[in-house]
Amino acid sequence: MKVISGSLILAITSTLVVIAIAADPASGKQKTKMAPALAAYRTDIQQTSVSGVSSGGAMAVQMHVAHSSIMRGVGVIAGVTYDCANSRLPSSSQRLAQGLMCLDGSVDYAPDSIARTAVAAGVPGAIDDPAANLPHQKVWLFSGYNDGSVRRGAMNAVDKYYQNYVKAGNVFYQTDNHAPHALITNDYGGPCLDVNVKYINNCDYDAAGQLLQHIYGGLNPPSGSGLSGSIQAFDQREFVAGGNPKSIGLADTGYIYVPNACSSTTPCRVHVVFHGCKQYAGKVGDAVYKHGGYSRPPHLRPIQRDVLTGGVSAILFPRAISREKPGTKSRRLRRCSIASPKDSSQVRVLPISSKHLNCSRWRTVHRTPWH
């Protein structure tokens, strides 16, 4: 194995993470005391994997495809297909409009994304060749049937996109969970169907554990009762030209979960986690990197995240900030009332986060959430 600085992984991610920048209120004040530089670890770069939720799911697809030669697999929660917003459109407003259409799910964008991937792969140095690199990789997909933000059709397109490259049996697509638009856990977050400003909901499903297990194989049971690793803050400035992370939408500080067994002499692999657009630095605190399911201590989880078959994995959490101007008001969540199919007198009120949806249309495309 090659001795590779762990910072190399972030150098790759920091140039791409700008597509997952929030469109939400200002992130609040950043700490003036800077975190230490990211330490170097002996990483096996060919065992890298990525995952993300919402815009982070879209980011995970982008990075997975663009750097497919170093990837082991990908986990996508409520994301969209590769280059779905069409980077060739001449203006940002056109790309934004296209991106919103991608979320709607009423159009199958898989064929367009496959075509754009082929074009990009044909440009020397643009992206790695997914046709050559993806067939034996693992793909884990999740779409909650109460997700009114990234609709089922959008994730169906992601499934169709990967089925074009990955061999049969290597794609797992979870669709029978009643989750809304959120990062899903089995022990942290708000009630499953409630509005949660951190977008982490307890739906009795361990999404992080399931996707890691699918990508890397069986996870070993926990041994001992203490922490098996530590979460460390690091300075993201060194990965940005000019040393100003905010210029490209990055926070000053990122985080990494480092297993005790991972050192400068013990080989490690890296899993990169991209948060959603409203989970940016300064708004959700430590919710994603500490409570999202990726870096829990052994006594709080049924399977151990850091000791995986064949090696240990560090979990890297790049952090973005909001780029919206201070004082901009956040769009309020709309709500739809849904009657129980068994008893029409029972009504459940659910959040609908997209202003482009109406309740009657939402009811026709979603199963009634009484499970």
198-251 pLDDT per residue, tens? 999 999 999 999 999 999 987 555 444 444 788 999 999 999 989 999 888 899
Tokens of 257: 């979960």
To the nearest whole percent, how much of the chain has pLDDT over 90?
Answer: 56
Tokens of 64: 């997975």
Residue-wise pLDDT tens digits, 58-98: 999 999 999 999 999 999 999 999 999 999 999 999 999 99
The residue that leads in pLDDT, 123 or 346, is 123
From the list 228, 305, 245, the residue with the least C-alpha distance to 35 is: 245
Handedness of CA 252, 258, 263, 266 (dihedral sign): negative
Report the chain's mean pLDDT, rounded to a whole number. 78
Contacts of 132 by beta carbon, 8 Å cutoff, 6+ apart = none
Q: Identify whether 128 is a catalytic site residue.
A: no
From the list 133, 130, 187, 149, the residue with the least C-alpha distance to 53 is: 149
Indicate the pLDDT class of residue 48, thresholds 50, 70 and 90: very high
Beta strands in 143-294 (DSSP E): 171-174, 183-185, 190-191, 200-202, 229-235, 253-259, 268-274
Q: For the chain, what's the residue count?
A: 371
- Position 280 scores a pLDDT of 86
* b/e per residue 334-349 (b: at least 16 CB within 10 A): bebebeeeeeeeeeee
Indicate the pLDDT class of residue 282, thresholds 50, 70 and 90: confident
Rounded Cα distance between 183 and 301, Å, is 17
Q: Identify whether 178 is a catalytic site residue.
A: no
**Backbone dihedral region for residue 340 (phi beyond 0: left; psi -120 to 50: alpha; all else: beta):** beta
Active-site option among 64, 67, 178, 181: 181
- Position 302 scores a pLDDT of 38
- Position 145 scores a pLDDT of 84
Rounded Cα distance between 113 and 119, Å, is 10
Residue 172 φ/ψ, nearest 5 degrees = -110, 125
Active-site option among 24, 44, 83, 147: 147
Burial environment of residue 115 by CB neighbours within 10 A (0 to 12, 13 to 18, 19 or more): exposed
From the list 332, 322, 353, 334, the residue with the least C-alpha distance to 104 is: 353
Helix (H) or strand (E) holding 251: none
- Position 259 scores a pLDDT of 83
CA dihedral 173, 175, 180, 184 (to 10 degrees): -50
DSSP structural state of residue 248: G
Rounded Cα distance between 16 and 13, Å, is 5
Q: How far is CA 9 from CA 6, 63, 272, in A?
A: 6, 11, 8
- Position 264 scores a pLDDT of 64
- Position 25 scores a pLDDT of 35
From the list 239, 258, 234, 277, the residue with the least C-alpha distance to 10 is: 239
Q: Identify whether 54 is a catalytic site residue.
A: yes
